[in-house]
Structures are given as structure tokens and as C-alpha cells.
Structure 1
């Protein structure tokens, strides 16, 4: 943006026209932040290093998370990313231990998997409780509270003496770990500008996606050489460790755009208070727990979340809940061998996917803005999804056919490695796209994504192995691949018409100052 264009604001007759022109060029998902800055022409428009306007426009307040030093932003990102990893880790570390777990409680291995799926299901429900509370009282106190309770429920699960006790503790664990997924995404959106958000969200989602892949590695060894109970104690220890780290290192990131700066010599240290950082004039109301459901009415959110939920279930949860049974049946694997095969294959795939995904989505947005003179079109992010959308069904087919025809273990391992590469790209694109569309409502959007992922994913333990045994794993893979391709079609439509749909629907009116 050149200084000549901003000089027009000095003329009263042409100032509003110039303001309208500039607002259109840089608005779309997050125009309110730009309006505030342009209302004060003497301050000028703040630009990134490439000369494009920063979106959102940062305030002059040192306690604004957008003004945090880069090292602190990275530290915050790593903390909430590791916390996101702990959510599925609490649920999935026990997956390779279904055989000893089933033997102890005198149930089948399929029934043993239900304690994982029940935790996944309630992790999808719980976020609807925590996000309104976090938006009112702050992200920091909610994350600290839910982390300490998650640790307690994991310890209790390890000590459970009956099947009903175990299920009850897993319900509670799912409810409290649900905050890790949704509030964490809001923290990332609070701290990073539009041009940084793709890579930041990519790091967040690679931790989230890889958690269920890392979990079987220690889980398998613990189940085989110590006790299945340590598959619950280990996540509890990590939860407690993360609680201590966040207590001393995670600042509050909620910030009301346009609010008066707080006069203090230690703006960041003030953000480290455990309590008392509720935004001025913000009170928790019963309606806050209901209006978050309004995000389901936006087609770009709902249908991209549906595609993400289907592909995440098939690419991440399906291998996780079936490998303990299938690898023991086909290869006579021990829990530790199952954990290594599942964990290493999926970890490599997801990590490679992130190396590509975050860079691609940010680069795509940058090229789009340069081409369109700074105009932000969130749908530009969706162009980065193609490699993931193509590889996901390919990996699923490799997995299904190699399982059915009993190839060496490298076959299914390669299949779910490719699927995990694909889902990492898909996750980064979907999270970044929706955060661009509705930045102030990022936690609520993450709720929709989390609810879909957890709700669809929790069904896997009930149908995957019975369906594969009945029709053959190759035909199950073909069927599920077609389902994934069908749910991709709305995403392709949004690439070309998503902006028109969003303009017609309008933006949510709540939390717009965040």
C-alpha cells in the first residue's frame, strides 16, 4: 500500500471513498481490525515485510498478543500444540494394549476398544462446555483447570478395578481433554497474523494429528513389559508436566480489539495471572452455550468439517483402532511390535505432510494477495488441498488390499503412512481456511471440526473390523474411498463459489472484537 493512497484520507470529501476502497481490498474475513487502524490515518497502516497490510491490524498495546515478541509467540504455539497432542494421547496410548486389557476385564478385544471410542465421543461433546467459559474468563484458567482434571481422570482409569469404573473415568477424561483441541486453536489465531496462520496452524495440527500415532509406541512397550495400567499413568504424568509448564509460561491471549491499552510496566507478566483477566464488560450467560451452535449453519464450515471428519476418521482413527487386532491376527505381533509399526509409519507420514502443508497454504495465500492487490480471499487456501485429497484414497486402498491379501507388514504400514501424509495436508488447509473466514469465532469453528472428527471417529471401533471381515478389507477400502471423494465435492465447489456463499450468509455477530 503506497503512502500516496493513504494521503487521500486527509481530504474530507474523498476520505470516505478512499477508506471504502482500501477496506474492500484488505477485508473479507477480518475487516474490523483494519477499519480501526484506517480511522486513525496519522498512525498509518501497518504492513508486513512484503508490503502487504497486516491482518488483523495490531494495536499499539504491548499486551496485544499480536505484538508479543516472536520467541514468545513460538513458545505459546508449542505449548498449545503439545497440549493438543496430549488430548488423543490420553485416549490412544492404550490402543496396542487391547489384548491384555481385554483379558483383565474378561471382554473381547473389540469390546476393549470401546473404552477408547467412548473417550473420543465425549471429547467431541465437551468442547461445547469449555469454549464459552474460556471466551468469558480467559483461555489460560480453563486450560490449566482442564489439564489438571485430565491428569486425575487418567490416574483413576489406571486404577479402575471394574469395567464400569474404567468407562466412567474415560467419559470424564474425554470431556476434560476436549478443551485442548478447540481452545488451543483459538490461542493460535490470537497470536498470529493472516500470512503466518497457515504455518502456525500446520504446526498445531501436526501435533494434534500425530498424537494418536505417537501414542501406540510407548503404549505397546508399557503394555508388554510393565502393565496396561501404565498406558493411563503415562498420559497423566505428561498432563501434570504440561500443567506446570503452562502455569509459569503460558500467558492469556484473549484481547479485545479497540480496547484501551492497560498502563503497566510489565504487560506480558500481567497476562500470567491465573484469574482476573476477564474482558471488561464480559459476563457468562446461558445463551453463550447455545449461540456457538450457530456455526453449524454456515455451509463453508459445516461441509468442510464433514469432509475433514470423514478423512480424519479413515486416515488416522481407522488404523489406530484396528491395528492391535489385525496385526496380531495376521503377523502374530506383540503389543510393542504393533505400537512401533503403527506409530512409526503414521508419524513419518504426518511429519512429511506438515513440511509441505503449512508452507503451501501460506504461499498460496501470499500469491493470491499479490495477484489481487492485497485482497484477501480465504478460498485461496483451499487450492492447497489437492495433494492430500488425491493421496488419501490411494493410501486407504493400499491399506485395505494389503490387509485382505496378507502381504508383509510393510504394505499396510505404507498405506496408513500415505494416509497420514494426506490427512496432515487436509487438516492444515481446513483449519487455516476456516480461521481465515471467521477469525473471531476460531474456537467455535474448531468446535465444529472437533465435534465432527470425534463423533464420526468414535463409531470406527464398532464397524471397522466387523465390516472388513464380512465384505473383505479391499471392498471396505473401495467403499470408504468413494465416501471420501463424495464429501470432497463441496470443498471443490467452495474453491470457486465459497466467497459468494459467505457474503450471502453474512458474518457471525458475536465475539467480533476478539
Structure 2
């Protein structure tokens, strides 16, 4: 079995800001995750801590009470729920107005297709902003960056509701995309900071079900607000929720950034210490210009890049495509009001995603447990998680075909609604598996991985408003669905390759050398 070398920071090197390399051979189970190594004066001793089933905890927690891995379970769940709800608010900021494109277009005297561009702009900048937030969060902490970006999201959403001209609305939507971009990436990093390997699939599943369902929940209040109050309240509501979440996090969200191997801080109130707004920057960690560029390194790893590509295509076709086309299609085909469109789109997709999560997270965690049970070397094979993706990969194009053929042949509205539900069931499984798989492969770089996936999703998704209606009108929605289903299946091919050769590819590429102590 191959082995890797692990860099260990002793107390003296940490305090001086210098790195002293003590080479310890461990099994290739994600570097820092497979062993607990305590370095003394010139000697190293290994002491494994076990979970309730007798398997080694991965990653191994330190003896520091303020280590997020040592948080009590109720606090871990509280962290998970807060960052998950924040992930929900990201697409909610962008998509609540979608059922209200008709009154929005009427107010600004534009078409409903052009009205969808303000959603497209917000999605695009939500993919760009994280390239600024992640380096800041890796240096100064997840907590202060999330609080600051949440305020930006709240203020810009309020500004969108107050916008008097189309250009003002576009400008505030740009800022809203930048503010909400941290919700997707830093939240995934905090989940990885806090939960062990055997819990991570379920925790990531909860995080992704909030993330995925947000765009499906948003049309429900958005439709009623657009029809009975004003389209402006489709922006005010997210602003209120953003600010409410800011207050909750200010008092309830601890810092989870932790440098593995750092000197424990002696305190009788470790959790309260983690609630500080500043002063938790790891010793020897300073923000450098290069930090804003090194995050692009993750694009060179095939398992990350091609997983992000498949995820981006699947998410765009399963979630964003129905969201940006429903206001136009359901109004033209079924004469639906904004509230009726919101209910059909929201309930069908919400049910599908929730059922997908009930299957996804539990199954892949169970698969990982069974793969480790009985192995003496306890080698972690992240590719085991990929076996849980098959149901999602098969159902995703089926749901797309149901949607396309039902739209083309003008069936009852329940037809395309069922297509929504099947697609969202599938994308929830796909999201949970791919987020968990890549976090297992490169745990210290989880925020950067989430950043790559978010960038891909937002970049591919932002184009949908420009071509979806036009393509379906020109070639027929049934042929559009067939074409897009084939695109999705082709983009899935690399995932199949990873199932059988992923470990070989990762061993050949090696592991990233930055943030290895996180």
C-alpha cells in the first residue's frame, strides 16, 4: 500500500511562524484525516481515538477543547442548521422574484425574458464573489466573513426593492450576488470543519438539501407577493431574512477555523472564546496576495473539476431551467397567475428534493461504514461514496424528458410538475454524493472545492435565461429535452471513470500543499 508524508507543526515552530517538517508515514487516507499524531520533543507518538463502532475517528480530534471536532453534538447541529439556512438564503435572494417576472416586466416596460436577466446577473456574481471571501475566511475566520457578507446581501436586497430604474436594479443585483456567494462555499467548509468522516455524508446532505431546495421554496412566497402585494416585496422578504440570520449568527455561530497541530489555548470557556469577532486568526497565518490565486489550484485536480462540471450541468438542467422558464411557460400554456406558478414549481420540486435527501446522505454514510468495517489498515476510499449516485444519474434525464414532452404537448400542469419533482429528487442525490466525495478526497480544501462547484453551477446556470425559451420554441421542447438529457449523460461519464480509477488519478496528482493543517 502506498504512503504519503505528513507535515507536523510543533509548538515551537507554530509560535515562531516557521514550519518544521517531521515526516511521519501514514496510510493514504486523506493526509491529516487518518492518524492522530502528537509531536513531543524529538519524538512522535500515535494515539487513535475511536467512534462508537470501534473504528478510528477521521479526522482525529486534538486534545484542545476549542477544536470544532470536540464541540458537543448539539453545538455541531446548531452550526450545521445555521450554515444550511444561510445556504438556503443564497438562491432565495436570487429566485424569490422569479414567479413575478410578469409584473416586474410590466413595471420596467420590458419582456419577461429580459426580466429574467436580473436573476441571471445575480447568479453570475454569486459564482465570482467567493474568490474573494474564501482567502479572507481562511485567514481571519469563517465567522467574521459570513457576518459581513450577510450584511451586504441584506442591504443589496433591500436596495433591489427600492430600485427606481432598470440600471439601479441590475447594480443592486450584482452586489447581492457578491454578498450571497459566501453562503455556498464557507458553509460547506464549516460542515467539514465540524463533522467526522462517518457523519459527513448526512451533514453534507442536510446542507445541500437546504441549498437545492431554496430555489424551489422561493417561488411560493414570491408568487403570492408578486400577485397580491408588489414585486418589490420579493426583494424585501430576502432582505428581512438576511438580517434576521445576521442577528442569529452574531450570537449563536462559533468560529470553526482551526489549525491542526496548533498549541491549545488554556481557557475554561472554549465555546465562548470561539464566539469572538476577531482574534482567532491562527498563529503564523497572514493574508498574502498569493492566497487569492492559490485557490485556483483546485481546478487542476480532475476529481474536483470534472465533478464540478457534471454537478453544474445537472443542477442547471434540474433546478435552474425550471425556475427561469416556469413564469413564462405556465403563464402562456395554463394562464397561471404568479401565485399559482409559485405553488406548482415550489411544491413539486420541494417534495422531490426532500425525498432525495432522505435517501442520499444516509446511504452514502452507510456505504462508507461498510467499506471500512473489518479492514485492518482502515484505508479510506472516497470513491465508495460515488456508488450512491446511480439513482440520481439515471432519474435526472428521465425527469427532464417528462418535463420537455409535457410542455411540448401541453398536457395537464401536473405533467411538467412531476418532471420537476423527479429532477429535483435526482439532483439532491447527485449534490450530496459529489460534495461528500470531494470533501473526503481533499478535506482541508473543502471551501475551495465548494468554490469550484459553486462557480461552475453559477456560471453554467446564468446562461439559462438567455437560451432556454428560445431553444425550446425553435426546435420544440421535446427535442430540447432529448438534447439536454444527452448532454447530462455525457457529462456523467467522468464520474463513472472515477468510480474505478479515482484513487489512481488522485495518487498520480498528489494532494494540495496549502491549508493542510486546517
CA distance 1:459–1:45, change in 2 (3 Å):
same
Residues 1:450 and 2:454 are matched in the alignment = yes
Partner of 2:341: 338
Partner of 1:394: 398
Query: Scaled by the length of structure 2, what TM-score is found?
Result: 0.93
Residue 318 of structure 2 contacts residue 400 of structure 2 at CA under 8 Å; is this kept in 1?
A: yes
Partner of 1:418: 422
Residues 1:509 and 2:513 are matched in the alignment = yes
Residues 1:80 and 2:83 are matched in the alignment = yes
Structure 1 runs of 4+ aligned residues shifted over 3 Å read: 30-33, 37-43
Partner of 2:389: 385
CA distance 1:276–1:38, change in 2 (3 Å):
closer
Query: SS at the partner of 1:34?
Result: coil
CA distance 1:275–1:60, change in 2 (3 Å):
same
Q: Deviations over 1:139-184 (max 9, x none)?
A: 0000000001110000000000000000000001001100000000
CA distance in 2, matches of 1:357, 1:345: 18
Query: Scaled by the length of structure 1, what TM-score is found?
Result: 0.94
Moved more, 486-495 or 43-52: 43-52
Partner of 1:9: none
Query: SS at the partner of 1:277?
Result: coil
Residue 216 of structure 2 contacts residue 349 of structure 2 at CA under 8 Å; is this kept in 1?
A: yes
Tell me which of 317, 322, 327 is aligned to 2:320.
Answer: 317
CA distance in 2, matches of 1:153, 1:42: 52
Partner of 2:330: 327
Tell me which of 474, 480, 484 is aligned to 2:478.
Answer: 474
Tell me which of 492, 495, 506 is aligned to 2:496.
Answer: 492
Q: Tell me, which stretches of 5 or more residues in structure 1 are unaligned?
A: 1-18
Q: Deviations over 1:330-354 (max 9, x none)?
A: 1000000000000000000000000
CA distance in 2, matches of 1:454, 1:309: 8
Residues 1:360 and 2:363 are matched in the alignment = yes
Residues 1:148 and 2:151 are matched in the alignment = yes
Tell me which of 192, 197, 201 is aligned to 1:198.
Answer: 201
Q: Deviations over 1:4-38 (max 9, x none)?
A: xxxxxxxxxxxxxxx85xx32xx422446615159
Residue 32 of structure 2 contacts residue 517 of structure 2 at CA under 8 Å; is this kept in 1?
A: no
Count of aligned residue pairs for this structure pair: 492
CA distance in 1, matches of 2:197, 2:453: 20
Partner of 1:29: 30
Tell me which of 130, 134, 141 is aligned to 1:131.
Answer: 134
Q: Deviations over 1:116-151 (max 9, x none)?
A: 000000000001010000000000000000001110
Residues 1:253 and 2:223 are matched in the alignment = no
Partner of 2:8: none
- Which structure: greater helix fraction? 1
Partner of 1:435: 439
CA drift at 1:415: 0.3
Q: Tell me, which stretches of 5 or more residues in structure 2 are unaligned?
A: 1-23
**Residues 143-222 of structure 1 aligned to structure 2 (within 5 Å):** 143-222=146-225
Moved more, 75-84 or 31-40: 31-40
CA drift at 1:54: 0.5
**Residues 207-246 of structure 1 aligned to structure 2 (within 5 Å):** 207-246=210-249
Query: SS at the partner of 2:35?
Result: helix
CA drift at 1:286: 0.5
CA drift at 1:480: 0.3
Q: Deviations over 1:291-341 (max 9, x none)?
A: 100100000000011000000000000000000000000100000000000
CA drift at 1:42: 6.9
CA distance in 1, matches of 2:469, 2:502: 38
Q: Deviations over 1:205-227 (max 9, x none)?
A: 00000000000000000000000
Query: SS at the partner of 2:135?
Result: helix
CA drift at 1:290: 0.3
- The CA RMSD over aligned residues, in Å, is 1.3
**Residues 47-86 of structure 1 aligned to structure 2 (within 5 Å):** 47-86=50-89
Residues 1:369 and 2:372 are matched in the alignment = yes
CA distance in 1, matches of 2:234, 2:495: 38
CA distance in 2, matches of 1:32, 1:508: 14
CA distance in 1, matches of 2:358, 2:68: 26
CA distance 1:477–1:108, change in 2 (3 Å):
same
Q: Deviations over 1:437-457 (max 9, x none)?
A: 000000000000000000000
CA distance in 1, matches of 2:447, 2:195: 15
